[in-house]
Amino acid sequence: MPTAAASAPSTKAATKKPKKAVSGSKGWEPAGPSITELITKAVSTSKEHKGLSLAMLRKALAASGYNVENKSCSKLGLKSLMSNGTLVQTKGLGDSGSFKVNKKLGETKEKATKKNQLPCPRSQRPRGPPAWPRIPRKQQQ
């Protein structure tokens, strides 16, 4: 009996089909350029001095062949471009308003890094005289 029980699991394992591997190493690839690339291209080609409005941006995306009915993708693309400093919002709040390309992208990053860098660690800084005079405590007898 023990030999028959031991051989039963091995036959079940042999009859299972192996899982198919995903074809290719990446699996899924996008059909066209990303939404952030499309947005930056549309805003940079715009000739508006004060930036491109959200409505005009959606029209430009639709003209380039992007499905603008899914508004969440365009909102996320705008938010990510504004957070990394590629776009600047000139009017409005949130995702509504006007947007233009940030020309001072390199300068703002340099200023931020200069503020955060200290010349030397806190323990090695030279100390000046105290801001107020120290008054010695009276000794109790």
Q: Is the dihedral of CA 38, 79, 56, 62 positive or negative?
A: positive
Residues 58 and 75 sit within 8 Å (Cβ to Cβ): no
Whether 92 is covered by a domain: the verdict is yes
Domain of 66: which CATH number?
A: 1.10.10.10
Residue 140 lies in a domain: no
Q: What is the tally of structural domains in the chain? A: 1
Q: What is the pLDDT of residues 10-51, one digit of tens each?
A: 555 556 666 665 555 566 666 778 888 999 999 988 888 888
- Asked, for residue 88, whether it belongs to a domain, the answer is yes
Is 134 part of a structural domain of the chain?
no
Residues spanned by the domain of 67:
32-97
Structure confidence by residue, pLDDT tens digits, 61-86:
999 888 888 888 888 889 999 999 98
Residue 120 is assigned to a structural domain of this protein: no
Residue 29 CB coordination number (10 Å): 6
In a domain, 7, yes or no: no
Structural domain contains residue 84:
yes
Report the pLDDT value the prediction gives residue 48, as an integer from 0 to 100. Answer: 85
Residue 87 and residue 40 in contact, taking contact as beta carbons nearer than 8 Å:
yes
Query: Does residue 77 belong to any structural domain of this protein?
Result: yes
| Contact in structure between 65 and 51 (CB atoms under 8 Å) | no
